[in-house]
Amino acid sequence: MSKKLLSHSVKILKLGTWIGGILAALVVLVVAVVMIFPVLIQGPLEAQLSELSDLDVKISKPYFDFKDDNLFLKIDKLEAFNIGSAPNSNPLGGQKSLVVAVDKLKWDVYLYSLFTDIYNPDEIFIDVLTLDLNAIQSNIEFGVSQVQTLAALPNSEIFEFLKALDIKKMFVKGEQNIEIAPILIIANNKQLTLKITGQSLNPEASEPNTNKVDISATISGAQSADVLLNLPISISNEELSITTNVKFTNQAGDNVVELESFLAQIPANKLVNYLPSQFVGDDVYTWIKQGFLAGTLQDSKLKIKQNLSKSSDAQVQFSSQLKALELKFDADWEPLKKLNASLELDGKRMTVMVHDGKLNDMALNAIKIQIDDISQQELDAKVTGKINTQSERLVEFLKRAPLDESVHEVLNSINLSGKVNGDIRLVALLDERESILDIDLNLKDNRLSVLDDKIVIKGYNSKLAFHHNKITATGSGKIRGKLFDIRINPNNKADDHERIFGVELIDSSSGFKAYITKQLDQSWRGRIESKSVKGNVAVFPNEKDIPNVRILGLQVTSLDTIKSDWEITPKDFPSMHLNATNIRINEDIFPDFSAELVSKDSILSINNLELKGLGVSKKLLSFQGAWDGKHTQLSAKAKGKNLAEFLQRLKVKERVIGGKFDFDASLACECAPWNMSYQDITGYFDMSVKKGVFTDQDPNIGRILSLLNIKSIAKRLSLNFSDVTNKGFTY
């Protein structure tokens, strides 16, 4: 019994030893398989992937890893090379170019799947996938075969492979390098959906972290008979939601791709965050970035149609509604504000129809903005429209426009009010070139004034034009009830290079002509010609004091004519320093004179009126006075030791010796200063003179003085005038 037991024990021990050895051998075998199997499948795997992709695929360092009860096949690097020569390399050199590179591939698989089908994995994780478009042969085109391949993906063997992909990051190299956010591929009922989460559409945006979107594209295994591929795409985040559909069809034997996209709404100043500069060009991108300041784009629609079978440009159409937009269309101009418009892009032509808006605070209606060819290097935005507003608003609009300095000088020199309508054309050049503004206007029953409202034209009707930075006008209006033909900046004058602004006034019935200009030195010049008056006037503004006014070469044939032709009041005169030279009244030469005129409260004060040559010793006789519109008063006082000199200054030719005098005069008339006559003057004249001799003279002046001499009263009473009638006399 014990022998049998021992014998069985030995057998059991031997069996245990064999089992232990077998298990140990199995462990060693499993470890060996784990270590050797990836190397064994590297070749078949490279061959399968190469056949699948038509590329030369190479794998480095494949190995297995166990984690969380899962088996992973890990590959440090997978590279796929173009079988043909690189596009930019020597085709005889046999050089291969890298098309696809995969870093850190991890394949979560079941063991049995390795023996069945490599396209039946559980999950495939890729850290970085790099695709180099430059390495793809340039003669490869995206045509119907590629479309059919895409459409067949949900029904192909690769479907199981694609649905297992999980890509953390992807780089696409080409003319522009693109980084793509994590990619997740979901497969369900023969429908393949690609999802990209947190994708930045424009890395150059000012807020790159706030413009990230989620992208979803779906390929369905069920396609209609007349459509090769229908690919719906959605792009969305909290600010926008874009729905897009890409459709590949066959039309009349040609393969055609059509894209339709719709965006319900987006803030205008956020558009640049989702618009890569390489899609629109640097100039347009910069213009949009700097120009779209506020407002919204609504109901935006994009349509693109491309014939893949023919070499032709894509047909591009885009439309959008602009609401309350603030648009900075030119660096020098103020922004367009509260702009409501329709935007249309048809091919290369972009058109904006403005329903209403404001530019420089002037209301705009029925304005058309057009760029003929957005593909050009130098872009010109043409703005055309109608103007129907008030003249004062138009003048303020032009004052705030970036026009030539001389134009602003003109605008600051005039006041215009009334109704105006016409056409406006602005060419806004979207680069460093200066914009071009052209305006043609009709002014009806306006009020035009110059020289700080001193010359006022009422009932002004004119055709006014602004071209080449110059204002011109031809029309008519009334000045003090008289109708004049009025020309602004007439072309028939020889002073174009000297003047900033010019106005010509013509009264054909009376022969009156006046030409008033503002010069480059800021002075005003005027020339007046009529049957009764000819002369020149110059006005020199003074920022710190009243202006200086010079009257030159004035010729007056009849003061009565001036009096009847003009209804002038003290309000018509600004305060000024007046200087007049070379004046003729009828055939008489009037002395040169100067005065200070102060206009205040409907009274024109006349201060320091001095006539050349009229004075005492070295001091000119100074008159003071005033004109209230009806009455003129002048007064003067003087004292001297030599009457002879005083009379000589008065142009009295009598020879006088000595004579101390005291002179006081006050004159008045019910008239304007320039209409004073001897017959109308009233007042008093007081002169005291003593110790003088008139010699060898006609006694007329002596008679006057003698009659005023108290000491000669006795002789006058006795009718003794011998001292007057004799040759020479004393007093």
Residues 6+ apart with CB under 8 A from 714: none
Cα Rg for the chain, rounded, in angstroms?
51
CA dihedral (635, 638, 644, 646) in degrees, to 10, reads: -50
58, amino acid identity: K
pTM over 0.85? The answer is no
Q: What is the pLDDT of residue 137?
A: 56
Q: What is the pLDDT of residue 7?
A: 44
Q: What is the pLDDT of residue 21?
A: 36
3 state DSSP class of 147: helix
Tally the C-alpha atoms within 13 A of residue 410's C-alpha that lie toward its C-beta. 22
The range of the structural domain enclosing residue 579 comes to: 531-695
311 assigned to some structural domain: no
User: Taking the CB of residue 543, how many other CB atoms lie within 10 A of it?
Assistant: 6
Q: What is the pLDDT of residue 298?
A: 92
Q: What is the pLDDT of residue 25?
A: 41
599 assigned to some structural domain: yes
If DSSP states are collapsed to H, E and C, what string results for 299-333? Answer: EEEEEEEEECCCCCCCEEEEEEEEEEEEECCCCCC
Alpha-helical segments (H) within 152-254:
158-162
Gap between the Cα atoms of 647 and 701, Å rounded: 11
Write down the residue that tokens 């096949």 correspond to: 73
640 assigned to some structural domain: yes
Tally the C-alpha atoms within 13 A of residue 549's C-alpha that lie toward its C-beta. 17
505 assigned to some structural domain: no
Alpha carbon distances (Å) from 183 to 75, 193, 350, 422: 19, 10, 36, 59
Q: What is the pLDDT of residue 536?
A: 93
549 assigned to some structural domain: yes
* Selection from 302, 217, 314 nearest residue 256 by Cα: 314
Alpha carbon distances (Å) from 324 to 292, 297, 384, 428: 11, 9, 20, 21
Gap between the Cα atoms of 257 and 314, Å rounded: 10
Gap between the Cα atoms of 46 and 58, Å rounded: 6
Residues 6+ apart with CB under 8 A from 348: 372, 373, 374, 375
Domains in the chain, number? 1
160 assigned to some structural domain: no
Give the pLDDT means over successive 10-residue stretches in the chain (731 positions): 39 38 40 54 74 78 71 80 59 65 76 50 77 66 60 60 74 79 78 84 65 84 70 87 87 83 89 73 76 90 84 84 86 85 86 86 83 79 86 88 80 87 83 81 90 82 88 88 88 72 85 86 87 90 88 81 66 88 83 89 88 70 87 84 67 62 83 75 77 52 41 39 44 42
CB of 153 closer than 8 Å to CB of 223: no
240 assigned to some structural domain: no
**For 210, which DSSP code?**
T
Positive or negative, the CA dihedral 271, 277, 280, 281 is positive
CB burial of 448-485 (b: ≥16 within 10 Å; e: otherwise) equals bbbbeeebbbebbebebbbeeebbbbebbbebeeeebe
* Selection from 520, 524, 515 nearest residue 406 by Cα: 520
Alpha carbon distances (Å) from 198 to 167, 187, 214, 272, 713: 13, 21, 6, 17, 122
83 assigned to some structural domain: no
